[in-house]
Structure 1
Amino acid sequence: MIEYYKTGADGKTALVEAPEPGCWINVVDPTAEERALLENELGVLPEFLRSALDEEETSRIDYDDDVNQIFVIVDYPTAKFTPGTRDTLPLQYDTMPLSMVFMPDKNQFVTVSLHENLVTEDMAKGRIRGVDTRYRTRFLLQLLLRISQLYLIYLRRIDRLSSNTEARLHASVRNEELIQMLNLEKSLVYFSTSLKADEVTLNKIMHGRLIPLYEEDQDLLEDVLVEIHQAIEMCNIYSNTLSGTMDAFASVISNNLNIVMKVLSVITIVMAIPNIIFGFYGMNVALPFEGVPFVGTWVFPVLVTAVCCIVAAYIFKRLGMWH
């Protein structure tokens, strides 16, 4: 999909039918024909386009002086839902690359992404104030600011989801909650890696060597860096907390298993005692109180059983399993 947006004299950004000077070209999961259009007609470098469509590409900034194009790629957060359950809680959070190409000669700005995302959607639908496609640097910084804000929003959701899952784990340790906690821990790892890479790219932009920055742009870039630093700190805190929680529950599960094994071991040992004693009754040997009819038939077996119960109770108390 390729869409063209341009901000008019009235300050409103709207769709246009063809690329114009000062427009924003939004590209989402382009087909082979659309890729050819980007390369041949719009003049986007093929290597920039290949990097933009690589899901594993890391955040960076590049410049080609032959065609005077600047390439910026950053990671934005996204939520993975179960198919057909968009309105329910996400299974896991991840990051995806969003690429931006400056084309000063044509006075155009291109964004390329593999999937539809909230960042470009908010810009296209006018949810971000002060968007003007004619000012490419400011447009880039507004995109970066929206990405950093999304990180903060998703991190707060991860924290709430982690707290809810932990509360359910206190009531009952089940595989579903443990898997959810593991997915959240993986999400924080993805966020931390992407945020650090984005921070490096922002620092390069801040130097102003490749992208010229005006005074207002400097203020906006500082706001973006503040949001990114806050997201990195939150990510580290939540990751350490979640990791400690997972370790604690792993210890609880191991401790519960040890208790169960202790109980089973004690029961096995205690039940073995009467089996050994009563097993003698099937042998041709003389037994205690064998000549006394009532005592040999009832009193001795009951006495052995009572002794086993007393021994079991003593062992349970010594092991701290019975208070």
Structure 2
Amino acid sequence: MLKIYKSMETGPLKELTLKSLEKGAWINIVAPTPYELKVVGNLTQVEPDFLRSALDNEERSHTDIEDNSIMILTNVPVMRTFESYDTLPLAIILTPDYIITVCLEDTPVISDFNERTYRSFRTFKKTRFLFQILYKSVTYYLKYLRQIDKLSDEIEARLRESTENREILRLLELQKALTYFNASLRSNGAVLEKLMRLRSNHSLQNIIKLYEEDEDLLEDVIIENKQAREMVEMYSTILARLADTFSSIMSNNLNLVMRFLAAMTIILAIPTVISSFFGMNVEVPMSENPLAFLDICILAVLLAGICATVLWRKNMF
């Protein structure tokens, strides 16, 4: 899917086509076909590798610079389900005339820039638009982290009542999401620091221009990214300790059950042994006594009771 927009000085976004492409336009490419990449590359004179960089789902954040373009590859968060989160590479390419975004999927980070929110951004202010996209990405990281925190509290409350496999698997899913977020935020942080250093590169002034407001926005992005990293590390530690705690609880519960079963086995073994002695097909004591069965039952119950008392005093129950 390929969409082209351009902000107007007044009025909503103007949607363009490849034939009516104008300077200052934003080219948004989602799950592109080889033909779309080839056409966009020819029209904008962008390196084909730049356009294909975001199509590798395992690509890490980095920046590449060519003579007439700069590519910033960042990882943005996505929510698969209410309990499953992931990250996707998003390529943002700046040229003297255009800003291009390439992603495998339509993500909220990009879809939030639309006809309804056109007043909050300008496609021809490429540097500021770039930082706004990065800022939006960090805000979604923070949003999803708060959701993960609430889910972990819910799982903890359920685990206090019953340690079911489903809750343990939900906890594992959240830990996996935090692992993805941690790796992405670290690499994104390195990219942001590099962008901050680019302000002193005069050879890129025709591509990426940093005004004072843009620098403030970039600093805000860096601060929010650091906050998100700290939250990820904190939540990862909490979830790891929560998993260890409930693993210990499950092991302890299993030990209690095994101890109880062992005690019951010992108690039930006493009547079994006594009955087996008097059940032999040979002459046994009290064989002529008509009350022998009752006496044997009383003896077995008495010995079992004594054994149960001893085990109870030793906290076997």
State the TM-score bracket (shorter-chain normalisation): over 0.9
1:245 is the counterpart of 2:237: no
Q: What is the match of residue 6 of structure 2?
A: 6
Which one is further off, 8-17 or 175-184?
A: 8-17
Which one is further off, 248-257 or 207-216?
A: 207-216
Q: Structure 1: 5+ residue runs without aligned partners?
A: 82-89
Decide whether the 8 Å contact of 1:73 with 1:99 is kept in 2.
Answer: yes
Which one is further off, 267-276 or 161-170?
A: 267-276
Matched-pair identity in % = 41
Q: Displaced runs of 4+ in structure 1, greater than 4 A?
A: none
Q: One-letter code of the match for 2:35?
A: E
SS class of match (1:244): helix
Q: One-letter code of the match for 1:176?
A: R
Q: What is the match of residue 279 of structure 1?
A: 276
C-alpha change, 1:275 and 1:128, in structure 2 (3 Å) is farther
2-side partners of 1:150 and 1:272: how far apart?
63
2-side partners of 1:303 and 1:236: how far apart?
64
User: Could you tell me which of 92, 99, 106 is aligned with 1:100?
Assistant: 92
Deviation at 1:259, TM superposition (A): 1.0
2-side partners of 1:127 and 1:12: how far apart?
9
Q: What is the match of residue 32 of structure 2?
A: 30
Deviation at 1:315, TM superposition (A): 1.0
Q: What is the match of residue 137 of structure 2?
A: 147
Decide whether the 8 Å contact of 2:44 with 2:98 is kept in 1.
Answer: no
1-side partners of 2:267 and 2:163: how far apart?
30
2-side partners of 1:313 and 1:36: how far apart?
85
Q: Structure 2: 5+ residue runs without aligned partners?
A: none
Q: What is the match of residue 263 of structure 1?
A: 260
Q: What is the match of residue 146 of structure 2?
A: 156
**Cα deviation 1:282-311 (Å, max 9, x = unaligned):** 3245544444322x2212222212221331
1-side partners of 2:24 and 2:134: how far apart?
19
2-side partners of 1:73 and 1:232: how far apart?
18
**Cα deviation 1:90-117 (Å, max 9, x = unaligned):** 231111111011111xx10000000001
2-side partners of 1:306 and 1:128: how far apart?
87
1-side partners of 2:11 and 2:115: how far apart?
14
**Cα deviation 1:105-135 (Å, max 9, x = unaligned):** xx10000000001111111244375301111
SS class of match (2:32): coil
Q: One-letter code of the match for 2:60?
A: T
Q: One-letter code of the match for 2:308?
A: A
**Cα deviation 1:24-74 (Å, max 9, x = unaligned):** 000000112212212223322111122121111100111012xx1101000
Q: What is the match of residue 186 of structure 1?
A: 176
Q: One-letter code of the match for 2:63?
A: I
2-side partners of 1:125 and 1:309: how far apart?
81
RMSD: 1.7
2-side partners of 1:218 and 1:11: how far apart?
27
Decide whether the 8 Å contact of 1:13 with 1:132 is kept in 2.
Answer: no
The within-5 A match list for 1:116-127 is 116-127=106-117
Decide whether the 8 Å contact of 1:19 with 1:25 is kept in 2.
Answer: no
TM-score, scaled relative to structure 1: 0.90
Deviation at 1:272, TM superposition (A): 1.8
Deviation at 1:247, TM superposition (A): 0.4
1-side partners of 2:316 and 2:301: how far apart?
23
The within-5 A match list for 1:1-323 is 1-10=1-10, 12-17=12-17, 18-65=20-67, 68-81=68-81, 90-104=82-96, 107-127=97-117, 130-207=120-197, 208=199, 209=201, 211-294=208-291, 296-321=292-317
2-side partners of 1:128 and 1:315: how far apart?
76
Decide whether the 8 Å contact of 2:76 with 2:88 is kept in 1.
Answer: yes
TM-score, scaled relative to structure 2: 0.92
